[in-house]
Amino acid sequence: MDRIRIVGGSKLNGTIAISGAKNAALPLMIAALLTEETLILDNVPRLADVAQLQRILGNHGVDIMSAGKRPGDGQYQGQTLHISAANIIDTTAPYELVSKMRASFWVIAPLLARMHEAKVSLPGGCAIGTRPVDLLIMALEKLGAELAIDGGYVVAKAPGGLRGAAIDFPKVTVSGTHVALMAATLAKGTTSITNAACEPEITDVADCLNKMGARITGAGTPRIIIEGVEKLHGARHTVLPDRIEAGTYAMAVAMTGGDVQLSGARPELLQSALDVLAQAGAVISVNKDGIRIARNGARIKPVTVSTAPFPGFPTDLQAQLMALMACAGGSSQITETIFENRFMHVQELARFGARISLDGETATIDGTAKLRGAPVMATDLRASVSLVIAGLAAEGETMVNRVYHLDRGFERLEEKLSGCGALIQRISD
């Protein structure tokens, strides 16, 4: 199993190209099931989760062609996928595929909308809390689906097709909003989704669905209206840049010092995180190529932050911020309001000498002037990269084990960091 070795203490200087967003690419790939024509997606990141979803879609009979680099392509441009679901040969998504990645459960929505049936295993994925699928099931039932849970599978039928309905989520849910959005595009009549998630990835999927002939308004606001259409057609769409990746590298630069251009990053997608970094003492400037971040010797300042749905501070950057605050001059507090199990990185950060105490959903971090390298273990996708950030700033050598979590969400992490002067390498056993 691969490991990542880091020798800390080097400042980061240079340019990092931001990849396409994993959290948009996955639902966009799933949306291809809604049409028999080809959906072309540009700027798809090369990630383990994308490869896994290609296998899941292949199981349904979907043909996926990955186009290689073209003349004039930049070094880090994402891949182009041509996805054709002309003939769906199987409406079952089996446990051995779905158990590896939660988002694959979402295939239930387009299969139900287009084929009027689906049998999908209950999901797996990161071990960060229960993240139940009850709100997704509620949304599909509102649209007229008949659902039963049998032997660990959700068996769904909509004999006459789905029907438009009013879906009011009791709490903001990104996965529920994605599922409701996809299912409603082919439902008869009008669907309204209230208390919808406002994340940029929802807007990106809605933009793509509209290019495919859907009639969606209000995406990016808490109320989305979908006028059902009879069928969707093919389209071409570019995946938006990954705000979590951009925020992660921004925190790495704030941690180590230095000056890095985040090429392709869009500030409006992560303004709350940039505001927190500015409070912490990073210097942030926006330019035509993206975001530039620097820290020139001043000590990191402590901050108080609560995670919140977009446009609030993202839960997916909480672990990275905690690593940064481990070196702040003073005491910081981070409250996690989204996922109940999302502090598994605390004991691993403590191995570097970080001083973190937990009280329910709030972590108090007493900054220390020096972290020391240590062997650590990745527990989930975002937590694992917080260990990399800590390792970049720590004295001596850090070995991050179980890096397959990193490969699920960060494209060529060690390449991008070593290109800016980090001493980091992958070790394959």
CATH number at residue 120: 3.65.10.10
Q: What is the pLDDT of residue 383?
A: 82
What is the average pLDDT value for the chain, to the nearest integer?
94
Q: What is the pLDDT of residue 129?
A: 45
176, 93: one domain: yes
pLDDT of 362 above 60: yes
Ramachandran quadrant class, 324 (left: phi over 0; alpha: psi -120 to 50; beta: rest) = alpha
- Find the mean pLDDT for residues 308-336: 97
266, 210: one domain: no
pLDDT of 308 above 60: yes
- Cα–Cα dist 109/120, whole Å: 10
- Find the mean pLDDT for residues 280-285: 97
- Find the mean pLDDT for residues 55-69: 90
Among candidate residues 238, 255, 279, the one where a domain is terminated = 238
Query: Cβ(411)–Cβ(372) under 8 Å?
Result: no
Predicted confidence band of residue 124 (pLDDT cuts 50, 70, 90): low
| Residue 375 neighbours by CB under 8 Å, 6+ apart | 351, 398, 399, 401
Q: Which range of residues forms the domain containing residue 413?
A: 3-16+242-427
202, 287: one domain: no
236 annotated ligand-binding residue: no
* Higher-pLDDT residue of 133, 87: 87
Q: What is the pLDDT of residue 72?
A: 61
pLDDT of 126 above 60: no
Predicted confidence band of residue 312 (pLDDT cuts 50, 70, 90): very high
- Find the mean pLDDT for residues 242-253: 98
* Higher-pLDDT residue of 202, 405: 202
Q: Of the listed 126, 208, 327, 420, which one is catalytic?
A: 126
* Higher-pLDDT residue of 76, 282: 282
Predicted confidence band of residue 22 (pLDDT cuts 50, 70, 90): very high
Predicted confidence band of residue 128 (pLDDT cuts 50, 70, 90): very low
- Cα–Cα dist 261/77, whole Å: 16
- Find the mean pLDDT for residues 342-348: 90
- Find the mean pLDDT for residues 298-324: 96
Q: What is the pLDDT of residue 338?
A: 87
Predicted confidence band of residue 207 (pLDDT cuts 50, 70, 90): very high
102 annotated ligand-binding residue: yes
Is residue 420 part of the annotated active site? The answer reads no
62, 124: one domain: yes
Among candidate residues 204, 238, 272, the one where a domain is terminated = 238
49 annotated ligand-binding residue: no
213, 252: one domain: no
76, 177: one domain: yes
Query: Cβ(27)–Cβ(201) under 8 Å?
Result: yes
- Domains: count for the chain: 2
- Find the mean pLDDT for residues 14-42: 98
Q: What is the pLDDT of residue 75?
A: 57
Predicted confidence band of residue 340 (pLDDT cuts 50, 70, 90): confident
- Give the other-Cβ count within 10 Å of 392's Cβ: 26
- Find the mean pLDDT for residues 128-148: 84
Predicted confidence band of residue 127 (pLDDT cuts 50, 70, 90): very low
316 annotated ligand-binding residue: yes
186, 311: one domain: no
248, 350: one domain: yes
126, 46: one domain: yes
- Find the mean pLDDT for residues 316-323: 96
162 annotated ligand-binding residue: no
195 annotated ligand-binding residue: no
88 annotated ligand-binding residue: no
224, 267: one domain: no
412, 327: one domain: yes
- Note the pLDDT tens digit of each residue in 105-120: 999 999 999 999 999 9
Q: What is the pLDDT of residue 263?
A: 97
- Find the mean pLDDT for residues 396-414: 93
Among candidate residues 185, 205, 238, the one where a domain is terminated = 238
268, 190: one domain: no
338 annotated ligand-binding residue: yes
Q: What is the pLDDT of residue 277?
A: 98
Predicted confidence band of residue 298 (pLDDT cuts 50, 70, 90): confident
Share of the chain above pLDDT 70, in %: 96
Share of the chain above pLDDT 90, in %: 85
